Amino acid sequence: MKIGFIGLGNMGGPMAANLAKAGHDVTGFDMADVAIDGVTMAASGAEAATGADVVITMLPNGNILRAVANEVIPAMSKGAALVDCSTVDVDSARAVAAQAAEAGLLAVDAPVSGGIGGAAGGTLTFMAGGSAEAFAKAEPLFDIMGQKAVHCGESGAGQAAKICNNMILGVTMIATCEAFALADKLGLDRQKMFDVVSTSSGYSWTMNAYCPAPGVGPTSPADNDYKPGFASELMLKDLRLSQQAAESADADTPMGKIATALYEQFVESEDGLGTDFSAMLPRFEKRSRET
């Protein structure tokens, strides 16, 4: 396929490179001066989108997505697909999909899970929203950039799945870190704590696959001084999106609300910026019940 790829940062760059390596004709654009193996760079998003069978975007937020959509949709050919892999608010995803449909285009919102390592290794998971026809056009590209793609429903469903998943992730990471900090104060050895919880009813991905305690369980960012695999500020972004969605849908999400407030405090008022989201554990270690 001829592919336009807009947003070639830590995630988009490796994704575009994998598409080019697979033999696709990839033209890219980014606001920064970047060079990606196998990707021809364009002078604008509209230039990258012109004549493309599929335009893929990987952008920071919904406002930027809307602005890029305004630029690239008029440049795209009827029947082409706009595939947004950013994590943005559901309302922006649906608005851009509607705008694309009015222009005779297919649209897919397909946020990803798997982080920078998954982007480089082609092992991302895509959560896709859009029509069956749109998903079918994008699916061969998902197979190159990732290991799994789930068609979650109509436009916005991909973003909804990502936001709900990451609200669970944020809440469970906080609970896991709280439990380790409590175990420490109760004199319980961390390895014994892991041995019990990881095979008991407290089992979770944050405990078993991404343990926040250094030296316990599989290797994780905790074993690398909490350098980010998934940064705390990105978790805060996703939790804020969950609360924006909850407000829009009139959904009661008290744990999501509390998790958002805790990560907000951690990132904006403490030392969480630039650390992995599992660095909540040393945060709780240093705090007493009254602080």
Distance (Å, rounded) from C-alpha 101 to C-alpha 245?
Answer: 23
The terminus-to-terminus CA distance of the chain in angstroms comes to: 56
Whether 148 is a known active-site residue: answer no
The position carrying tokens 């390895």 is: 191
Cα Rg of the chain (Å, integer): 20
Distance (Å, rounded) from C-alpha 84 to C-alpha 110?
Answer: 6
Contacts of 185 (CB under 8 A, 6+ apart): none
Which amino acid is present at 200? S
Long-range contacts of the stretch 176-179 (C-beta < 8 A, 24+)? 176/204, 176/206, 176/207, 176/211, 176/212, 176/281, 177/212, 177/278, 177/280, 177/281, 177/283, 177/284, 178/284
Distance (Å, rounded) from C-alpha 211 to C-alpha 194?
Answer: 9
| E strands present in the chain | 2-6, 25-29, 40-41, 54-57, 81-84, 106-109, 112-113, 124-130, 146-153
| DSSP assigned state of 211 | -
Which amino acid is present at 241? L
Distance (Å, rounded) from C-alpha 107 to C-alpha 130?
Answer: 6
Active-site hit among 21, 162, 185, 286: 162
Give me the active site residues, please: 162
